[in-house]
């Protein structure tokens, strides 16, 4: 049963990545995250209940890890094509498996180790197939953000195995969402207070945490060498005036709420294996990779498709070997 829940969670995550990319066209990273998480918190608010202070402290730590992973991941998403980001995110289960061996004493067979080698090999080849994705400066910054996202995401997954032993899924999801919402709100407030005075003063507040418009309106940003943001990263004319309501934000919230709920319920099962669940959830890249190529017309897909197949083969070996 837990494997079925993990599969459906993976499907929702794939659509969630696509919805996030679409939402970033009109609003910035913090705006998208704050609104979507606040809506998700509202969706699960009926499940709020008080618990031991120790549990809340653990959930606060989890909220910090999740927030760091989300923010860095979406910053990377703005600087790299969705197909590239999807492939990088596919490395998370590999590191979860490795640390499960080191921290929890899990045993891996030869097939699982071969799967790890294939996935890491796909990531290495990705460095060559992604050289044409934007300027050198944008690529390096994007990969750096994605590195932070992977590290904090792996730490969060490993922490999940610990906290789910003594907590109920909806208790974890409801309070974690609330704490993430608070953290994001504080981050936005701090950015606004620290924003410089003058024409660029609005660049730090909630209303202007968005990419510039194609006609140059709004805060000036570029990806090195003066190149403006690509159309898929830019907002419409209304974007320069402040936060733009977009129904895609509701879709983002619905998808992540469902994906997380299925994940926590799967992990709560007595016989559930974190390493297998993490691998299965990364199958979401198959959905986001295909839709990223179709909807956003991202280039260099053929070369990345080979990397994708290589990574998929590694994931399958990990899944079968588990």
Q: Which of 52-56, 87-91, 141-145, 162-166 has the lowest mean pLDDT?
A: 87-91
Q: Which of 90-94, 112-116, 224-228, 261-265 has the lowest mean pLDDT?
A: 224-228
At residue 121, does pLDDT exceed 90? no
Mean pLDDT confidence for 185-200: 76
At residue 162, does pLDDT exceed 70? yes
Q: What is the pLDDT of residue 225?
A: 35
At residue 209, does pLDDT exceed 70? no
The token pair at 248 is 């895609």
Q: How many Å apart are CA 205 and CA 296, to the nearest integer? A: 28
Dihedral-angle region of residue 300 (phi above 0 means left; psi in -120 to 50 means alpha; beta otherwise): left
Residue 136, Cα to own-chain centre: how many angstroms? 23
At residue 50, does pLDDT exceed 70? yes
Percent of the chain with pLDDT over 70: 76
Q: What is the pLDDT of residue 75?
A: 82
pTM of the model: 0.73
Q: What is the pLDDT of residue 26?
A: 85
Q: How many Å apart are CA 244 and CA 37, to the nearest integer? A: 16
Q: Is residue 20 within 8 Å of residue 252, measured between CB atoms?
A: yes
Q: How many Å apart are CA 174 and CA 162, to the nearest integer? A: 17
- 243 Cβ contact list (under 8 Å, min separation 6): 27, 31, 206, 207, 210
- CA distances, 94 to each of 8, 27, 46, 82, 288 (Å): 20, 32, 35, 20, 19
pLDDT digits (tens, 9 = 90+) for 75-120: 887 788 766 776 777 677 778 878 877 877 767 778 877 887 887 7
Percent of the chain with pLDDT over 90: 26
At residue 203, does pLDDT exceed 70? no
The token pair at 308 is 């994708």
At residue 316, does pLDDT exceed 60? yes
Mean pLDDT confidence for 39-48: 93
At residue 127, does pLDDT exceed 50? yes
- The better pLDDT of the pair 97, 240 is held by 97
- The better pLDDT of the pair 108, 44 is held by 44
Nearest to 148, CA basis, from 99, 75, 87, 90: 75
At residue 171, does pLDDT exceed 90? yes
The token pair at 120 is 């890491």
């Amino acid at each position: 049963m837990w494997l079925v829940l993990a599969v459906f969670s993976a499907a929702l995550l794939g659509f969630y990545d696509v919805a996030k990319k679409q939402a970033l066209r009109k609003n910035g990273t913090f705006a998208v995250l704050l609104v979507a998480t606040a809506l998700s918190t509202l969706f699960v608010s009926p499940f709020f209940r008080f618990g031991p202070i120790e549990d809340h402290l653990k959930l606060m730590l989890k909220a910090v890890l999740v927030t760091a992973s989300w923010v860095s991941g979406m910053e990377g998403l703005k600087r790299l094509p969705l197909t590239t980001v999807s492939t990088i995110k596919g490395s998370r289960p590999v590191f979860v498996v490795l640390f499960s061996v080191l921290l929890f004493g899990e045993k891996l067979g030869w097939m699982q180790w071969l799967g790890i080698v294939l996935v890491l090999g796909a990531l290495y080849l990705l460095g060559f197939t992604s050289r044409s994705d934007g300027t050198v400066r944008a690529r390096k910054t994007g990969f750096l953000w994605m590195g932070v996202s992977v590290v904090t995401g792996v730490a969060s997954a490993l922490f999940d195995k610990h906290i789910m032993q003594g907590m109920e899924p909806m208790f974890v999801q409801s309070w974690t969402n609330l704490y993430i919402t608070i953290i994001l709100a504080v981050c936005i407030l701090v950015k606004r207070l620290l924003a410089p005075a003058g024409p660029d003063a609005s660049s730090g507040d909630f209303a202007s945490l968005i990419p510039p418009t194609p006609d140059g309106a709004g805060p000036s940003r570029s990806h090195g060498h003066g190149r403006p943001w690509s159309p898929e990263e830019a907002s419409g004319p209304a974007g320069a005036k402040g936060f733009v309501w977009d129904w895609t934000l509701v879709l983002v919230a619905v998808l992540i709420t469902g994906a997380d709920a299925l994940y926590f319920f799967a992990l709560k099962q007595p016989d559930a294996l974190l390493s297998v669940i993490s691998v299965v959830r990364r199958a979401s890249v198959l959905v986001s990779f295909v839709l990223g190529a179709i909807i956003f017309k991202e280039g260099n897909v053929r070369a990345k498709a080979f990397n994708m197949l290589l990574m998929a083969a590694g994931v399958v070996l990990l899944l079968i070997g588990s």
